[in-house]
Amino acid sequence: MRKRGFNLGYFLSEGFHSIFSHGLMSFAAVCMIVACLIIMGSFSLLAVNADQMLTKEEEKNEFFAYIDESCGEEDISRLTEQVRALPNVASVAFTSKEEAHDAWVESHPGGVELPVNVFRDRLVIHVNSLEQFTDTVTAVTSLSGVADYSAHSELAEGFVLVRHAATILATVLVAILAAVSLFIIANTIRLAAFTRREEIGIMKICGATDSFVRWPFIFEGLILGLAGAVIAFLLQWGIYTAVMNALADSGVLTLFEMVPFTAMWLPVLGMFLLAGALIGTVGSGFAIGRFLRV
């Protein structure tokens, strides 16, 4: 009994040969993989940028707790410590009404002259997570010594909503596109197997093992998947850079700074190659199964 050898050179050469023997279908499969990966990649890059923006906004996120005028220095110190001890509080800083007044004057040069007494002593509170923003505001305002507060809860909730929606949308789209890509690559390999069904029959009757028959098709799928991934990566790079330059030139979205592609090319390439390889091998694995039953 001869051992079942893994002849990599043979499997690769058969895989390449098969790709070119039905070139049009292979081309269509690569195009579909490219299209799917670019759409998946674009949404992922959008999500990365949205996440970065949200993270920046979170870093800036703060609200004010106005301190009751009856509180003395000791009360203020105690209140500060109580706030600091609350969950989700990143930092607490005391600002006196004089400092608040000076800041107002500085930020509104030539504006309305307001007396110092209009302002109140306050705690400037930064939170860790926007998701618990409202709970934190409620906890702070329930403390003794807090007279009032100023917080934009609706903005924080909006940020959280956008992030959740983007995550769900990206996940659903990636799942759908991955399924479409799998279907297309499986059909391409099925066609390749169908055109070679007599060869497969001869191989089987000569004593070929299932894996010997399957490997060339797996490699064919892998090659198509990786080729699609590399092309998609290069196109994605071009598209992303073009969009970034166009936005920069037009002055739109000046508030947001896009993450440069060079800062994330390696994970993007890795993700594309992994997705392409998975789509190619899993798709071809599914497709070849029924042709082995000889």
Interface residue list for other proteins (CB under 8 A): 1-5, 7, 10, 198-199, 201-210, 212, 294
Residue 149 has phi, psi (to 5 degrees) of -150, 165
Closest alpha carbon to 103 in 125, 118, 91: 118
Q: In the complex with other proteins, which residue's Cβ is closer, 85 or 206?
A: 206
Across the strands, what pairs with 91?
Answer: 126
CA 208 to chain centre: 44
- Could you give the angle at the alpha carbon of 11 between the alpha carbons of 8 and 14, nearest 5°? 145
Q: In the complex with other proteins, which residue's Cβ is closer, 23 or 111?
A: 23
Q: How far is the CB of 2 from other proteins (least distance, A)?
A: 5
Q: How far is the CB of 23 from other proteins (least distance, A)?
A: 15
User: What is the spatial distance between Cα 166 and Cα 133, in angstroms, rounded to a whole number?
Assistant: 20
Contact by Cβ (8 Å): 184, 33: yes
Residue written as token pair 């983007």: 166
Q: How far is the CB of 1 from other proteins (least distance, A)?
A: 5
Q: Quick one: angle between helices 197-206 and 153-195, nearest 10?
A: 70
Q: How far is the CB of 4 from other proteins (least distance, A)?
A: 6
Phi-psi category of 110—alpha, beta or left, where left has phi over 0 and alpha has psi -120 to 50? Answer: left
Q: How far is the CB of 227 from other proteins (least distance, A)?
A: 24
Q: In the complex with other proteins, which residue's Cβ is closer, 26 or 136?
A: 26
Q: In the complex with other proteins, which residue's Cβ is closer, 185 or 193?
A: 193
Q: How far is the CB of 196 from other proteins (least distance, A)?
A: 9
Q: In the complex with other proteins, which residue's Cβ is closer, 6 or 27?
A: 6
Q: In the complex with other proteins, which residue's Cβ is closer, 272 or 291?
A: 291
User: What is the spatial distance between Cα 37 and Cα 123, in angstroms, rounded to a whole number?
Assistant: 48
Residue 257 has phi, psi (to 5 degrees) of -110, 120
